[in-house]
Amino acid sequence: MLSINKAADRDHLIIELNGEVDASNSVELDEVIQQALSEDSNKILVDGRKLEYISSAGLGVFMSYLEDFQEKNVSFVIFGLNEKVLNVFHILGLDQLIRIRQTQEEAEQALYEV
Amino acid sequence: MRYELKLYCEKSRLAELRSFISEVLVPAQLNAISQNQLILAVEEVCANLIIHSHQCNPQRYILLTIHLLTDRVIFEIKDSGKAFNIIEYKSPEINAVVKEKRKGGLGLLLVRKIMDKIEFETDASFNTCRLIKKLKSK
């Protein structure tokens, strides 16, 4: 099960992931990011504190937007991942390509860095 | 110990697969990270078969057998779809995945990084993929 909540805060969009992302529902995550881009959000924060599991289908969604983020100057930060989920990013070295922070405060700081 | 699951080819059943593996692995007393890695690797192979070899046809199924031994765990995944040889498959480079904005291709890379050994064989009736992980002695 996955539920996704969106909220606006100052100049950024917060996408909160709740549950498990796998091949059965990664399209929902894809739609939310796609929509954020089409609405010209240029600061996107992913709240992963309640994310219990992610498979390659979910990782693939993030990876497929990295070029768009760069082209459109979108600042993108993920925070609050538990050790299991963070480890999955580490296995593939994705933490080198995506900015990942521990706390919301650190993530917001990274988001508003020039 | 030997455990078996008949998994019908629907993506919505992946959650059921994860709970099955996590119950079977309880006696192995793995830490949360190692247990999650094994669940993930098996799910990646099964998701791949469900989607690409069986086109999510719920009439078809995959047979997962888990052999939990003292020094290793063996996940045997059998199906009768078009043979997908995981050993011959070349995983893409991460940079190419980003450049081409690909959403797939990372799964089997994860499987290779997580497992100690991967075997594949096929005969007239079944394809068998075996994922083997050594367990640290307590």
At B51 the three-state DSSP class reads helix
Cβ distance B15 to A97 less than 8 Å, yes or no, reads: no
B52 touches chain A (CB under 8 A): no
Cβ distance A60 to B18 less than 8 Å, yes or no, reads: no
CATH code assigned at A94:
3.30.750.24
Distance CA B19, CA B23 (A): 6
At A111 the three-state DSSP class reads helix
Q: Which of B21, B52, B98 to substitute to test the interface with A, most A CBs within 10 Å?
A: B98
Q: pLDDT tens, position by position, for chain B (138 residues)?
A: 999 999 999 999 999 999 999 999 999 999 999 999 999 999 999 999 999 999 999 999 999 999 999 999 999 999 998 888 888 888 888 888 898 888 888 999 999 999 999 999 999 899 999 999 999 865
Q: Which of A34, A67, A69, A84 to substitute to test the interface with B, most B CBs within 10 Å?
A: A84
Q: pLDDT band for position A113 (50/70/90)?
A: confident
Query: Which residues in B lie closer than 8 A to residue A1 (C-beta atoms)?
Result: 15
A19: exposed, middle or buried (Cβ count in 10 Å: 0-12, 13-18, 19+):
middle
Nearest to B110 among A22, A53, A91 (CB): A91
For residue B32, give the H/E element and its range.
helix B32-48
At A62 the three-state DSSP class reads helix
% residues pLDDT > 90 (chain A): 98
Topology, domain B2-134: Heat Shock Protein 90 (3.30.565)
| DSSP characters over A2-51 | EEEEEEEETTEEEEEEEEEE-TTTHHHHHHHHHHHHHTT--EEEEEEEEE
What was the pLDDT predicted at A15? Answer: 98
Instruction: Count up the domains in chain A and report the number.
Output: 1
Q: What is the mean pLDDT of chain A?
A: 96
What was the pLDDT predicted at A114? Answer: 63
What was the pLDDT predicted at A95? Answer: 94
pLDDT in tens, A36-50: 999 999 999 999 999
Distance CA B111, CA B121 (A): 17
Closest-CA residue of chain A to B50: A23
* A110 to chain B, closest Cα gap in Å: 22
ipTM: 0.94
B105 touches chain A (CB under 8 A): yes
Mean pLDDT of A24-33: 97
pLDDT value at A106 more than 60: yes
* B104 to chain A, closest Cα gap in Å: 6
> Residue A93: CB partners within 8 Å, gap ≥ 6?
B94
Q: Domain ranges in chain B?
A: 2-134
Q: Residue B6: which of B48, B53, B46, B45 has the closest Cα?
A: B46
What was the pLDDT predicted at A49? Answer: 98
> Residue B26: CB partners within 8 Å, gap ≥ 6?
none
Closest-CA residue of chain B to A21: B15
Structural domain including A40 reads: 2-112
Evaluate whether B51 touches B42 at the Cβ level (below 8 Å).
no
Distance CA A7, CA A76 (A): 15
Cβ distance A97 to B43 less than 8 Å, yes or no, reads: no
Evaluate whether B51 touches B14 at the Cβ level (below 8 Å).
no
Query: pTM of the full predicted structure?
Result: 0.95
CB pairs under 8 A between A and B: 87
pLDDT in tens, A57-91: 999 999 999 999 999 999 999 999 999 999 999 99
